[in-house]
Structure 1
Amino acid sequence: MIVRLEEINSDNWYECCELTLSKEQEAFMEPNAVSIAQSKFEPTLKPYAIYCDEIIAGFLMFNSVKEELDGYWIYRIMVDWAHQGKGIGKEATRLMIEEMAKLPDADKLVVGYHPDNKGAHSLYESSGFVDEGDRFGREMAVIKKL
């Protein structure tokens, strides 16, 4: 299994919009189409397709400027329900962290998610993110120091 990231472009954006989550997961995340549209109005957001063996299996997006908690924020990461449970999300997260580590003064990465999102919690905890008690509305923010 070869997982790679490719910036959203004219060849892959629509397929990313067609990716879906399970019904339980949909409550925790905006559709990919909303994230892709958001990136067109906020050019510091960097959207990527997640490929697994040349098939688009997921989508992610992060900000290339620091925000709250003086860190670079991960906005989205999702794997289509049909491709979950194969380690694609974990590998894509590793690749995303490598990419974000190249940003200027990248010493802290932050991601927010709803506390009931057990899949997100497991993914981020296994990737070295730590809950330091930060909360933003309904979401908790976890931090990975680089």
Structure 2
Amino acid sequence: MSLRLELVTTDNVLDACALKVEPEQEEVVAPVAVSLPEAYTQPGSAWPRLVYDGEHLVGFIMGGFDPDSPVDFFRCGIWRLNIAAGRQGAGYGRFAVEQLCAEARRRGQTRVTVLWVPQPHGPEQFYLRLGFTPTRQTFHGQVVAERFLD
């Protein structure tokens, strides 16, 4: 694998918006076409990136970095992670999360958070395998979890 993160540009935005997750996951994660306008309206904190394997777009991750947020779990976290249908289970999600954690470290952060909808096809087991631990908090029905960085 030749994995890398790329910025969203005029050259790849249409491909990014066409990225689809598995059908059963559509109810638990917003599409990239919804995430990108959110990023555009929060340029000081949103960190959207595309995940490529060679020349193939395989995913999207959007982090949020707002160390002054009054809500502690919005200071540094994963806002979205979409891995393309048929591409899951190949390490792309893990790569994207680790790259976001590396960016958090570069920014001096020691904790990354993530929220998920507790559903059978949700990402709970994925995030638990990556070292995230539920905090016992919920936000709009979503589990809030954290991972402390080395």
Structures share fold, TM-score greater than 0.5:
yes
1:97 to 73, 98, 101: 101
SS in 2 for 1:83: coil
Q: Is the 8 A contact 1:28 1:117 kept in 2?
A: no
> Which residue of 2 is the match for residue 134 of structure 1?
137
Structure 1 runs of 4+ with >6 Å offset = none
> Which residue of 1 is the match for residue 123 of structure 2?
120
Within-5 A mapping of 1:12-91: 12-43=12-43, 44-66=45-67, 67=69, 68-69=71-72, 71-91=75-95
- Where structure 1 has 5 or more consecutive residues not aligned to the other structure, the ranges are none
SS in 2 for 1:122: helix
- In percent, how many aligned pairs have the same letter? 26
Compute the RMSD of aligned alpha carbons. Answer: 1.5
The letter for the 2-side match of 1:121 is E
Normalized against structure 2, the TM-score is what?
A: 0.89
Q: Structure 1, residues 67-90: CA drift from partner, whole Å, max 9, x if none?
A: 422540210011100211211111
How far the C-alpha of 1:119 sits from its partner, in A, is 4.9
Q: What number of residue pairs does the alignment pair up?
A: 145
